[in-house]
Chains A and B, each alone.
Chain A
Amino acid sequence: MRLISWTLLTWVALSATSGWAQEKKNSPELLVAAAADLSAALQEVGDRYEKKTGAHLKLSFGASGALTQQIQNGAPFDLFFSADMDYPRQLIAAGAADQSSLYQYAVGKLVLWVPADSPLDLDHAGMNVLLNPSVKKIAVANPQHAPYGRAAVAALKHAGMYDRVADRLVLGENVSQAAQFVESGNAQAGFVALAHAVAPAMRGKGKYWEVPADFYPPLAQGVVILSHSQHKKEAAELLEYIKTKEAAELLQKFGFTLPQN
């Protein structure tokens, strides 16, 4: 009994002082909404930034369309990293984001991904492996609200294959869920972000084939500071960091290409 009360007392004391310490530090938490293709890359960029500046980032990942919905309905994010340029522009038009902050931070790449033990020969057949009868389900992100889903559908249409595989498509809520469907073996192939295929957690678990860039409209990805943000100064500082060579190199490591400027 005494032990329990001592533990409790210590815990209360500890949490009180740590709360006080956090307040004293006086660096606000930045809430960042980010497209699902950034789930590994932005984590690393964020870690680096936090260590450098002592800032606090809280990252939320989801389909860009879904996040846009949440922001329009008052989600308290400070910054939004989209997987395209349209959703940020939509938010600017709705008065929910600052026009002047819009910055294209990367161009994403779409890849066709199969599990490592798959017999499909991606290197030679490319997208044609999808016509193989052993491919029963093909995972894509939901094109209704995920840019990578739209890119996948565009690429299939460009290759003239969409109608032949449409009844085998399964939709992930976002591109991460599409990747998960393949990783768990439930789908035999899937269109995911190159950033997923090269992420440490996925490396070695699968093989990928880069969909040629002219098969789908470029996945130019934009970031904006949101109008409701209470921490615009800190958000702008993070945005400045994203523009540095260091952050750009990190993004490149995850398969993003950089905007031509």
Chain B
Amino acid sequence: MSGSEIKKKILDALDVETFFVCENEEEARQLALGLMAEMGFAKADIVFLEMEGPGARVRVRTYVHRPGDRYGWLE
């Protein structure tokens, strides 16, 4: 199954949750959005970001299907 076929199966959102070793919130934000861009998701949003110790705990989200879209998982 290709990447685009796999994405069609996502009901609505894809969240990536991780811990970045970084200096500050801005760096964490850039890392998270950059990671999503590398994965092929140009539009992503930081849901949660908190600096803790050596870096930041982050959850970043992209919506594959929004309400009202034509849903790939219905095909």
Same complex: no
